[in-house]
């Protein structure tokens, strides 16, 4: 039978777009593997399972005790995404993954866009309005400046543009979750996402010691140091660790200003995607431009996310609905992260070497220096209280 007749038979037998999916028997082993990894990683709604990695880390946090008013594993970024990823990596690299799981694991490509869409009600700009114009402006300017600097530095280092985009998104927003969010948009490989996440978290661990030392050295007030920690370190627990390292009052201010960084997070990954998408359109013949390769038009599901984010900013999602949707987000990302971990051999992560860490460190230090200078200038000119 030739190719043409096979195509005709396929078209005649296909009754809907569901026909393109694998049958249940083919995907069930992989889906079950994702499910069990997820429920043994996180405390998920509807599953009263006490034997989870999340509870283990919480118990260890109790044994270790608070570190500068923060839980130790929260500082290391333990959450509903990285717990199943870690458990999946252990299972895959210690015990291996049977071939019969692989079709089910491929459903990560459906779970990721769905989870990103459901994240939209989580970002309400109205929550940041009480911060004042100057702090919001600083958060916004340094989000775009950090993303631009990181993309430029990664180009200078000849880092794969997909890898550089992942680092740029995570570092600019101060949230390693963005590394995972950018995966379907940038068409990054799983190893690049995990390596980029490690770069962002690793530099956060360095910057949470660096920012308070530099801030105290130039004489920033607790309020200004709280803002510098929220923007210059990010990642919530790490920024609070940095601010509390200076003073209790600075830590309280950091928790206040962190809201401003958090609610504009979607602007960060949208900016990175649009920049790389436009670059790809302008350099179609350049084979070194791989970020967003394969995406021909603005993704429909991303448009749905933007629309729902706009509705969230208008406070059309009430608090009970917002919390219920976020429980669904935890389920979705737990399953997707489990699939990613089960799909990755460690060599896919380690093969990227130290270049990514170098890019992250240079861009991160530049951001901290420029941020501290900008905050000191704003204090001197009266735009920020002394």
Model pLDDT for residues 1-10, shown as the tens digit of each residue: 454 544 444 4
Quick one: pLDDT at residue 21? 65
Paired with 288 in beta bridges are none
**DSSP of 270-337:** HHHHHHHHHHHHHTTT-TT--TTTT--S--HHHHHHHHHHHHHHTT-S-HHHHHHHHHHHHHHHHHHH
Quick one: pLDDT at residue 25? 82
Model pLDDT for residues 344-378, shown as the tens digit of each residue: 999 999 898 899 999 999 999 999 999 999 999 99
Euclidean distance between CA atoms 88 and 34, whole angstroms: 8
Mean confidence (pLDDT) of the chain = 89
pTM of the full predicted structure?
Answer: 0.91
Model pLDDT for residues 212-265, shown as the tens digit of each residue: 999 999 999 999 999 999 999 988 899 999 999 999 999 999 999 999 898 899
pLDDT at 333 over 50: yes
Domains in the chain: boundaries: 74-381
Q: What is the rounded average pLDDT of the residues 78-82?
A: 91
Residue 263's contacts (CB-CB under 8 Å, 6 or more residues apart) are: 123, 124, 125, 127, 128
Contact 342, 88 (CB under 8 A): yes
The pairs formed by 155-160 with CB atoms below 8 angstroms and a separation of 24 or more are 157/355, 157/358, 157/359, 159/355, 159/356, 159/359, 160/192, 160/290
Q: What is the rounded average pLDDT of the residues 306-310?
A: 92
Residue 276, both tokens = 């790389």
Paired with 62 in beta bridges are none
| pLDDT class of 126 with cuts at 50, 70, 90 | confident
């Amino acid at each position: 039978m030739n190719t043409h007749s096979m195509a005709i038979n396929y078209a005649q037998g296909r009754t809907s777009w569901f026909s393109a999916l694998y049958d249940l028997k083919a995907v069930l082993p992989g889906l079950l593997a994702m499910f069990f990894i997820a429920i043994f990683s996180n405390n998920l709604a509807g599953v009263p399972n006490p034997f989870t990695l999340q509870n283990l880390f919480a118990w260890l946090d109790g044994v270790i005790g608070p570190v500068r008013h923060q839980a130790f594993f929260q500082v290391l970024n333990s959450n509903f995404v990285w717990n199943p990823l870690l458990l999946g990596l252990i299972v895959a690299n210690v015990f291996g993954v049977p071939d019969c799981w692989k079709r089910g694991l491929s459903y990560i490509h459906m779970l990721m866009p769905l989870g990103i869409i459901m994240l939209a009600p989580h970002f309400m700009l109205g929550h940041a309005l009480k911060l004042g114009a100057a702090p919001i402006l600083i958060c916004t300017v340094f989000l775009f400046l950090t993303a631009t600097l990181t993309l430029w530095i990664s180009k200078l280092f000849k880092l794969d543009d997909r890898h550089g985009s992942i680092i740029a998104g995570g570092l600019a927003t101060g949230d390693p979750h963005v590394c995972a969010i950018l995966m379907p948009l940038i068409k990054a490989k799983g190893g690049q996402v995990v390596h980029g996440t490690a770069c962002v978290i690793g530099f956060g661990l360095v910057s949470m010691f660096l920012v308070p030392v530099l801030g105290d050295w130039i004489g920033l007030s607790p309020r200004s140091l709280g803002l510098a920690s929220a923007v210059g370190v990010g990642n919530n627990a790490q920024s609070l660790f940095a601010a509390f390292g200076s003073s209790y009052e600075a830590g309280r201010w950091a928790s206040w200003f962190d809201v401003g960084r958090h609610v504009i997070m979607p602007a960060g990954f949208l900016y990175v995607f649009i920049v790389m998408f436009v670059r790809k359109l302008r350099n179609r013949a350049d084979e070194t431009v791989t970020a967003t390769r394969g995406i021909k038009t603005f993704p429909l599901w991303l448009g749905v996310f933007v629309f729902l984010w706009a509705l969230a900013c208008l406070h059309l999602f009430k608090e009970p609905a917002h919390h219920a949707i976020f429980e669904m987000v935890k389920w979705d990302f737990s399953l997707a992260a489990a699939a990613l971990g089960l799909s990755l051999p460690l060599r896919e992560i380690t093969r990227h070497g130290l270049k990514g860490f170098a890019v992250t460190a240079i861009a991160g230090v530049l951001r901290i220096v420029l941020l501290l200078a900008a905050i000191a200038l704003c204090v001197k000119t009266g735009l920020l209280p002394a």
